[in-house]
Amino acid sequence: MLTRWRRRRAVRYLDVLALAVKARGWRCVKLYGREFPKPMLWVYASGVAEDVGVVVGVCAVPGGSWAYHDVKKGRSGYLVPCGDAKAAAEQIDLLLKHRMFPSTW
C-alpha cells in the first residue's frame, strides 16, 4: 500500500501522462480510486480496436526517481522516467500501434 504522499505523486505523474496521450489521440481512464492498491492509467484505442490498450503505473526506481511502467509486465515493463510525459506518450503510442497492427512491424 502506498503512503498518501507517494500516492499523490503517482497521481500527479499519471495526470500529466494522461494529457500527453490524449494529445496523441488515445483515450484513457484514470484508475485512482481507493479500490485500486496503486494508481494506474488505462490507455486504449478509440473506435474499432477498443480492446487494445495498456495499463500504466509509476514506480520508484533506485536513486530516488520515478518511472512509468506497463503494469502487466511489472518493473520489467519500464517505459521512461517520470518527468518526461512526452517521451512516455511516444513509447505508449508506438506500443499500441504495434499491438493494433502487428503485421506492419
CATH number of the domain that residue 62 is part of = 3.30.310
18/51: higher pLDDT? 18
The mean of the pLDDT values for the chain is 88
Number of domains in the chain: 1
Per-residue pLDDT at 54: 93
Which residues form the domain of 94? 4-100
Q: Establish if 9 belongs to a structural domain.
A: yes
- 105 falls within a domain: no
Per the CB < 8 A criterion, the answer to whether 46 and 96 are in contact is: no
Q: Residue 102 has what DSSP assignment?
A: G
Task: Kindly report the pTM of this predicted structure.
Answer: 0.88
Is residue 102 over pLDDT 90? no
Q: Is residue 84 part of a domain?
A: yes
Q: Which stretches does DSSP call E strand in the chain?
A: 27-31, 40-44, 53-61, 65-70, 78-81
Q: Are 57 and 4 in contact (CB under 8 A)?
A: no
Report pLDDT digits (tens) over 33-52: 889 999 999 999 876 656 78
Percent of the chain clearing pLDDT 90 (strictly above): 57
